[in-house]
Amino acid sequence: MAGFTPRDRVNFDAHWHRILADTDCIVATIEADDAPLGYVSTFLQDRRREIAFWIDRAAWNRGIARAAVSAFLAQHPERPVFATVLATNAGSRAVLHASGFRAIGPVEPDELLLRLD
C-alpha cells in the first residue's frame, strides 16, 4: 500500500481513534489461527471509496492478505473502489491485482493509483 510514516504511541492511538469514529470507514481484522495479523479497511478519500490493508511481516507470502482482501471486497461490493500503493511494493500490488484491481496511473512520483470496477 502507500507508504506509512511510523508514529509514536500517542499519535498512533489518535489516528486509530479518528478512523474508528469515522462512519464512512469500515475496518476488519485479519486473523489466522485465532491471532490478529493485520487489517483491511475501506474509507472515503477525495470523494472516492478506497481500500487499505496491512499485514504483519511474519504472515507475508502465505496467501493470507490475498484471501482477506478478496473476502472483504466480496462483503463490501460498492464499486468502483481505489487503492494507492507504493510502486516498489510488489507484494501489495500482487494482492490488489489478484483481486481485480488495475493500475490507472501515478498519483505521486513513487505511488500508483489502482481501480476495481
Domain extents for the chain?
Answer: 9-116
**pLDDT per residue over 38-95, tens digit each?**
999 999 988 999 999 999 999 999 999 999 999 999 999 999 999 999 999 999 999 9
- Closest to 42 (Cα-Cα) out of 11, 69, 4, 12: 69
Report d(CA 92, CA 61) in Å as an integer: 11
- Closest to 33 (Cα-Cα) out of 1, 58, 69: 58
CB atoms within 10 A of CB 110: 13
Query: How big, in percent rounded to 5, are the helix, strand and coil portions of the chain?
Result: 30, 40, 30
For residues 3 and 28, which has the higher predicted lDDT (pLDDT)? 28
Query: What single DSSP character describes residue 87?
Result: T
| pTM given for the model | 0.86
Confidence at 18, pLDDT banded by 50, 70, 90: confident
Q: Which helix (H) or strand (E) holds 116?
A: strand 111-116
Q: What is the pLDDT averaged over residues 3-7?
A: 61
Burial 43-54 (b: 16+ CB within 10 A, else e): eeeeeebbbbbe
Q: Tell me, which fold does domain 9-116 have in CATH? A: Aminopeptidase (3.40.630)
CB 39 within 8 A of CB 29: yes
